[in-house]
Amino acid sequence: MKRTTIRNWLVAAALVLLGSDNLTANPTREERSNVRVHYLEIVCADVVAQCAALERVHGLSFGSSVPDLGQARVAEALDGSWIGVRAPLAEHEQPIIRSYLEVDDIAKAVADAEEAGAVVAYPPTRQGDTGTWAIYILGGVQIGLWQE
């Protein structure tokens, strides 16, 4: 009985090790996605304190609030992505950090997210001169999409 258990354990371990090559292999440049974070939104109770900490820790420089972004104070990172810090827009809005990923076709991206099982929290919405954004939720995680 013990030999069977040990043999089964060894076979299972070998299968895991043989299959793990796919998990640890680095994709080639051609296989990598060109996804880029366009906007990192931080919703918090104390915007001033959060901006001060981000400036001190990361060397960011936040401007004045931007009406098109829910009065967020925005800093631009070296790679051109934006980091916005704002207060909740409604009593029910909880603190969150939400990434908005760039997409070429936001309508298609939203449809693809729905087909993958996501719920669309906010459909594509034009936001002044900053672009069009949407938010979907899957597994309790909110993902933003952004098209310039």
- Report pTM: 0.75
The model's pLDDT over 72-103, given as tens digits with 9 standing for 90+, comes to: 999 999 999 999 999 999 999 999 999 999 99
Mean pLDDT over residues 9-14, rounded?
44
Q: What is the pLDDT of residue 16?
A: 43
The model's pLDDT over 126-145, given as tens digits with 9 standing for 90+, comes to: 988 889 999 999 999 999 99
Separation CA 49–CA 62 (nearest Å): 12
The model's pLDDT over 21-73, given as tens digits with 9 standing for 90+, comes to: 554 556 665 666 788 999 999 999 999 999 999 999 999 999 999 999 999 99
Q: What is the pLDDT of residue 33?
A: 76
